[in-house]
Structure 1
């Protein structure tokens, strides 16, 4: 999901100092106790009572895991990772795969994979192909191809992880399509596809060309996709899954290699140690259960990064946004209907930037239709919100009706069963890319955050790059320069 630059982040920049002051208790104040947290909501931090997503029911066996019963406050860890979503899980897994002797502590404010990674729409999809033409204009061909290839490689890496480790997350390789209801939007997509075809001919070894995209126009699109009102579609290979189970499996791989996971432990502040201890501690992370020490700290905190780092918050570059998803079920039997074997997104339908994924035959919840988007039904577009404990009913009403509209009566039937509504908090940047790397002038403090609602296609490879930066002191040549965290400090919000 992308925000146009003119939306800027003026409000979050203005609020950042207040949020920081409210969010972090004074050093002399007692930290909140865990049994009181149900009544405590710290501005900008994960809400203690979020909605339960479709994917998180039932909870995973490591949902409330604390590797050690007590928080290890006397140890100095090589790395302290804040956040247990796909970013944090991938960083831990890749660090320990490189060096199994590392000591790594992971702090999670809620349950394992309890934030955006366990709350999305169930896609693992290289859907930003439509941006390559714009990327060429903004960054040049080399960088645009680097970005596009990384997206496809990242999706392939997640698939390889699932297949290699026999992860039971309902992974399905599916044909997907971006489908279009308006001539203007479809014509633009066709032009972008032609642009990329020409680019591929000139540079066959440099781009995301392994995933072939096919254009269906007019009646051919309607016949193939069985959607009665579309004007065209661009189809390619994608994947559906239970993202929560995939990330929990990634965490379990880290746990097997020695990761110490501490769930329901809120990181409240991060401070440099004035004088490094003999054990090499350079950072302290204060939590509601005590203070831990690390030689290096990784912020895998996505939409909650502003709350922990006043410097990043003050740039106005990272803006949280609440996204909403619904799981619904059509009244007609879908088990033998091929229309319900694919996933779709459609940026130009009246409901606004919706996507659909269908639970495949054999999966738990087979035939359930997962629908996300519709933020246009919120006056604020749900921006600058970090509360995922509530449902926006206007958005929910639209999500419940989308399937009936796009699939049509013959495929859907007359009624819709609502299985579950939930929300999650994503993080957006004005350019649509995450922030990855070392924070300037803060040696040993790193971040891989703000995935723009596209974590399954950015986070795994971003973690790979970050690990190389931390371990070798250099950035891999394949990693996009456009992801460099330092650009946040060069950002000026447009009035």
Structure 2
């Protein structure tokens, strides 16, 4: 893993695989608000996904409240919202119980409660914002089920839910989970034993809780349009090539179309962050390529499944988002994951920013997931073929499995909200809100203390940790991730403490 983390991170590549969600691209996909690049701005936001859009929105609202008007320029290397946000499954799913025990063990129960509370609050805030502003993003609040094919994880699920119920006030929705037996899961959710290469993976049962789905692309574009109406200057196909400190506490942002001088820079660059600030983030935010397929439903399946799914097994998982009624391709099943089915548990997917191609092994595996999980309830494939589309996208992972939010240490005026562990749809919105509070000088207990986890803040200590891969939910894995760069733990020893697929925070596929 050390070798993969050392691969120099590149900027977003030209000619990416076309996302299901960006077909066709929105009208603002190639927008440049002004034909010429401004030579100065108060704030430059790099990245136009959900984080960049949310930061812009919160800054603009702060301007309205304080009766001031900042110039905000957003740079996007490719089309608007074409990175991880425009390529993910739109799963607003927290799966907080899967990381709660680990967080409570390593951080303490109050911190674990705060993280789980933020995740649900993020889901609620995104769904409420889409409704309030009538963003046409196929919003579908609904339950989700984790279908579990591993006895140890089935038992741990019960332990974790019991711990959450004890930690939260009675009736708190953060701790609301319902268990379904094997027989109930088969009958109600159409799932059966999973047979892979002739070997059975036994269905143990399901865990049901509140989640939802939306088109993250349409949502992100919708937020951008609201910001554009309030004065945001969006410049697509304009990658930031480099950042340098300038005179009088300003920054110089170089692009192929010229240079912008600004007081503040916001990195909303997730897995690509180290390409711009390698001295701080190379080997700390490591890109990881994810893969997704969109399946037409089998003939025996309901026209539209009413819940979203995750399928959890010994070393990994897949997540599944049915397209809701009334949406384009309603009933389609979007299936992502499968990392550990590649050689060496998907090791070669770490450190790459190549979303122009797919991993054929993972592709072949994902193409077969639906008839395997649904068995006799799948039926014949659609006459048009099972798979409508497949594509890849780049996520960003940190050594300790948490986002990095705040002012970059030693770099005044350089801010970041990055590294969402494939879990951005339940982290990005609230992290952007917290970042703007910090930028506005309201970084205190009154503004953030009650709800923002301290462990999410970027710090020199966190930037010195060693990357060992996606973290398991066991406390031992967190200890492995905390090992300093160049520490005494050997790579093979560290990797035995890491589950290369399951973070405990990535089940949602957001």
TM-score tier, shorter chain, comes to 0.7 to 0.9
Q: Match for 1:345 among 299, 307, 310?
A: 310
Alpha-carbon deviation of 1:341? 2.0
Cα displacement (A) at 1:413: 2.4
Counterpart position of 1:35: none
Measure, in 1, the Cα distance between the counterparts of 2:6 and 2:361: 28
Counterpart in the other structure of 2:74: 106
In structure 1, the residue matched to 2:480 is: none
SS of 2:386's equivalent?
Answer: strand
Whole-Å Cα distance in 2 between the matches of residues 293 and 256 of structure 1?
24
Q: 1:13 to 1:332 in 2, by over 3 A?
A: closer
Q: Distance in 2 between matches of 1:62 and 1:256?
A: 12
Distance in 2, Cα, partners of 1:362 & 1:13: 43
Q: CA deviation at 1:332?
A: 0.6
Query: What is the correspondence of 1:398-413 to structure 2 with a 5 Å cutoff?
Result: 398-413=365-380
Q: 1:142 to 1:204 in 2, by over 3 A?
A: farther
2:216 corresponds in structure 1 to 243
Count of residues in correspondence between the two structures: 446
Aligned to 1:472, what secondary structure does the other structure show? coil
- Report the RMSD for the aligned CA atoms in angstroms: 1.8
CA distance in 1, matches of 2:5, 2:333: 38
Corresponding residue number in structure 2 for 1:193: 161
* Alpha-carbon shift at residue 334 of structure 1 (Å): 4.2
Task: Show CA shifts across 1:450-493 (max 9, x none).
Answer: 11111111110000100000002515112111111114333124
Alignment correspondent of 2:352: 385
1:56-95 matched pairs, under 5 angstroms: 56-73=22-39, 76-95=40-59
Aligned residue for 2:83? 115
Give the whole-Å Cα distance in 1 for the aligned partners of 2:136 and 2:176.
Answer: 27
Q: 1:318 aligns with which of 257, 274, 285?
A: 285
The answer to whether the 8 Å contact 2:164/2:175 transfers is no
Q: Deviations over 1:121-149 (max 9, x none)?
A: 22111123311111011101111111111
Answering whether residue 454 of structure 2 is matched by residue 489 of structure 1, we say no
In structure 1, C-alpha distance between the alignment counterparts of 2:271 and 2:332, rounded to whole Å:
28
- SS of corresponding position for 2:52: helix
Note if contact 1:180-1:349 (Cα within 8 Å) is conserved in structure 2.
Answer: no
> Are the equivalent residues in 2 in contact too, given 1:312–1:488 (CA < 8 A)?
no
Quick one: distance in 2 between partners of 1:60 and 1:191?
45
* Cα offsets for 1:326-357 (capped at 9, x unmatched): 001134164546xx22111122078x310111
**Secondary structure in 1 aligned to 2:296?**
strand
- Does 1:293 find its partner at 2:285? no
Asked if the contact 1:330/1:413 (under 8 Å) is kept, the reply is no
Are 1:282 and 1:444, in contact at CA under 8 Å, matched by a contact in 2?
yes
- Partner Cα distance (1:70, 1:322) in 2: 34
Is 281-290 or 218-227 further displaced after alignment? 218-227
Q: C-alpha distance in 2, partners of 1:133/1:402?
A: 29
Q: CA deviation at 1:307?
A: 0.6
What is the deviation of 1:183? 2.1
Residue of structure 2 in register with 1:135 after alignment: 103
2:417 aligned with 1:417: no
What is the CA–CA distance in structure 1 between the aligned matches of 2:309 and 2:301, rounded to whole Å? Answer: 16
What TM-score, normalized to structure 1?
Answer: 0.86
SS state of the match for residue 239, structure 1? Answer: coil
Structure 2 CA distance for partners of 1:430 and 1:122, relative to 1, 3 Å: same
Structure 1 position 394, deviation (Å):
1.0
- Displacement of 1:173 in angstroms is 1.2
Q: CA separation of 1:211/1:242 partners in 2, compared to 1, >3 Å: closer, same or farther?
A: farther
2:233 maps to: 260
Deviation (angstroms), 1:184: 2.1
